[in-house]
A and B are shown apart, each in its own frame.
Chain A
Amino acid sequence: MISAGTNGADIGRGASVTLSDLEKTYDRASAAPKDVDRVSLDIRSGEFLTMLGPSGSGKTTTLMMIAGFETPTAGDIAIDGKSVVAMPPYRRNIGMVFQNYALFPHLTVEENVGFPLKQRGVPKPERARLVAEALELVHLPGYGARYPRQLSGGQQQRVAVARAVVFKPRLLLMDEPLGALDKQLRENLQLEMRRLHADLGITFIYVTHDQEEALTMSDRIAVMNDGKVAQVGTPEDLYDRPENRFVAGFIGESNFLPAVVRGVENDVVIAECDGAVIRALCPGRPASGEKVTLTTRPERLRFADSAWIGEQMPQNCLSVTVTEAVFAGERCRYMLQAGDGTSIVLKEPSSAAIRRRAVGERAEIAWSVADTILV
């Protein structure tokens, strides 16, 4: 079978990766749920795909199966349309950056970076040239003679990246490569990873549990939960149109409003929530009377009497009581309570022109129907 991304001319510099119903159970004897459960993903040539999920959600295991260090219990992995499940890791030609970098402590930086070339029988002069080039690429020229222990964490990370790309693989896997670094350095290196991705044009599969990192770096994100893919999409897709409660809660902050469906009208669900009619976007067609949860982002709620509210979009409205008000510099954060007891968070950009609400005050809040999602 030849799939769209793999026929002839449009093979880019990056590999396409297809995971089909990939499964892994480490301990088959136990009744525990599968560690990776029917993961299907189509990763396009040259894409920067991030697997994002909490610890234990199966990200590393999935990556290890792609690299070939773990054998799937079921399902298939195809790289450029060819199944690689039976291929040992050393024949897959995949670059990999480990969380702890896994630099060889007894080899110098040069020897570490040259290692994959040596395994491929690249002659010495050629090797030296490619190693120098790779160190240049990660901004570490002149460090070749040092040993890994003589480098800082950030420098070690760069060496690991250089070593993973020096043999020009078409696919680079990275397992929380910035996890061990401090915040400042992490932000710098995030930008560098993006640059590297643009320069090399190869496919990146990147694993992280840091949603901000995922949102800033990725073309697409696959959110993982309990071994399953909860949703795949662009950062905007995931943030603006979460498909389920897990994604809505894991990426950014969300309010969840219990509601009962009253009808559907051109992809807009009309639901009743605390006595008010709320409209929400929904790709499906929930039945009338069904109990559902609506979600909306705290920064997209407004107090209805604020002067600058946009009028062009249909609005949802709800009466609430202020239970907590916190001034946090650039934003004011309010905890509100609806009549049915539901807690709602509202974030308002702080401005001297906006009146602060007091605790106990009653208020109307409003927000756009486009920012209301049924999950």
Chain B
Amino acid sequence: MSEVAQPASLALAVSRPQTAPFDWRRAVPLLLAAPLLLYMLVFYALPVVAMLLRSVNDPSWTLSHYATLFDDVVFQKTFWITFNTSVTVTLGCLILGYPVAMGLVRAKAMAPFILVIILLPFWTSVLVRSYAWMVLLGRHGLVNEALLALGMIDRPIRILNTPLATQIAMIHILLPYMILPIANALRQIDPSLIRAASGLGSTPFMTFRQIILPLSMSGVAAGTLLTFVLALGFYITPAMVGGPRDITLSMLIAQQVDQLNWAYAATLSAVLLATALAILAVARKLPGVGNAFRTSMR
């Protein structure tokens, strides 16, 4: 019992006895997490693995499903649309989200209110929000009515069921994932740095360029990655408000599953997953980003 009570450093310094008694305290965190781990294993990891396996062993062990992707025009077009949409949506979130993050950090009394507005999308189902966008963007929706009333157009324009509608709706849904990491990084900037810059002759814009922006890059990187990877896998929104021909990877996967084309669906899933993981793996190697991940996830 007495060895257990020793601080770790001391215990290490003393040469370990050959038959060290099993330290139950170390096992406690693992034991506490065990039910969830078991749950995840049975209901998440196993099904995912089983699904992905179908891409290589349906009907028998083969890589032919992957090989065919190289000259599969539908896949390539879909992949391109998915990638393109994700990039546009991520940029949109960045441009719209950065000023909001700054406002959130600077606001004092208003901050909780702004935060609630930012987080509202989190608390509403994606389905409901997509329906709401259908109402807003439709031929006789609010947006068309407003544009008509302002005289900017003379007959309703088509917004719903275009790539633009997908992008607008996805930006709305993903904005919090961009704003929060950026706000977090901005909040960690010591306000005296901004004063110092100003005192040293830097105009507000120069201070933003040289101090605030570089010091918030970790948050920008984290938000961008998070938004981009989430955008890659979007299904409901593009399916509901997007154009009939603008099919994303997840829509294609769902379509294939509907047609009981399991092997093809599994192959596409594997590609989607691999793309997301590859982006995360590369990004973590960039200076500052891995660190940003750790802090923004805290």
Contact = CB atoms under 8 A, between A and B. Distances in A.
A315 interface: no
Nearest to B215: A106
A360 interface: no
B202 A115 contact: yes
Contacts of B211: 104
Contact of B203 (A90, A95, A163, A167): A90
B21 interface: no
Interface in B156-208: 190, 192-193, 195-203, 206
B202 A94 contact: no
Chain A interface main SS type: loop
A260 interface: no
A69 B202 contact: no
B214 interface: yes
A167 B201 CA distance: 10
A227 B200 CA distance: 27
B199 A69 contact: yes
A69 B201 contact: no
Contact of A106 (B197, B198, B202, B214): B214
A69 B200 contact: no
A90 B195 contact: no
Interface string B229-261: 000000000000000000000000000000000
Classify chain B's interface size: 10 to 19
A284 B197 CA distance: 48
A68 interface: yes
A102 B198 contact: no
A238 interface: no
A68 B202 contact: no
Contact of A163 (B195, B200, B210): B200
A102 B190 CA distance: 8
Q: Chain A CB within 10 Å — which of B195, B196, B203 has the most?
A: B196
A283 interface: no
A94 B197 contact: no
B201 A90 contact: yes
Nearest to A167: B201
Interface string A53-84: 00000000000000111000000000000000
A143 to B, nearest CB: 19
A122 B29 CA distance: 58
Classify chain A's interface size: 20 to 34
A92 B195 CA distance: 13
B201 A96 contact: no
A69 B198 contact: yes
Nearest to B196: A102
Contacts of B201: 90-91, 93, 116, 119-120, 167
B192 A98 contact: yes
Nearest to A173: B199
Given A90-B202, A106-B215, A115 B197 contact: yes
A95 B201 CA distance: 9
Nearest to A166: B200
B202 A119 contact: yes
Interface string A114-143: 011001100000000000000000000000
A67 B194 CA distance: 13
Q: Chain B CB within 10 Å — which of A67, A90, A95 has the most?
A: A90
A89 interface: yes
B195 A116 contact: no
A20 interface: no
Contact of B193 (A104, A119, A167): A104
A310 to B, nearest CB: 51
Given A106-B214, A106-B215, A96 B199 contact: yes
A244 interface: no
Given A105-B215, A106-B214, A100 B192 contact: yes
Contact of A100 (B190, B197, B202): B190
A98 B200 contact: no
B166 to A, nearest CB: 37
Nearest to A175: B192
Contacts of B206: 119
B291 to A, nearest CB: 13
A95 B261 CA distance: 71
A289 interface: no
Contacts of A105: 193, 215
Nearest to A100: B192
A67 B210 CA distance: 21
Contacts of B210: 115
A132 to B, nearest CB: 18
Contacts of A164: 200
A88 interface: yes
28 contacts: A67-B195, A67-B199, A68-B198, A69-B198, A88-B198, A89-B195, A90-B200, A90-B201, A90-B202, A92-B199, A94-B199, A96-B196, A96-B199, A98-B192, A98-B196, A100-B192, A102-B190, A102-B192, A102-B193, A104-B193, A104-B196, A104-B211, A105-B193, A115-B200, A116-B201, A119-B203, A120-B201, A164-B200
Interface of B: 190, 192-193, 195-203, 206, 210-211, 214-215
Given A96-B196, A96-B199, 5 more contacts: A67-B199, A90-B198, A100-B190, A115-B210, A167-B200
The 10 closest A-B pairs by CB, nearest first: A102-B196, A116-B200, A119-B201, A102-B192, A89-B198, A96-B199, A119-B202, A90-B198, A106-B214, A116-B201
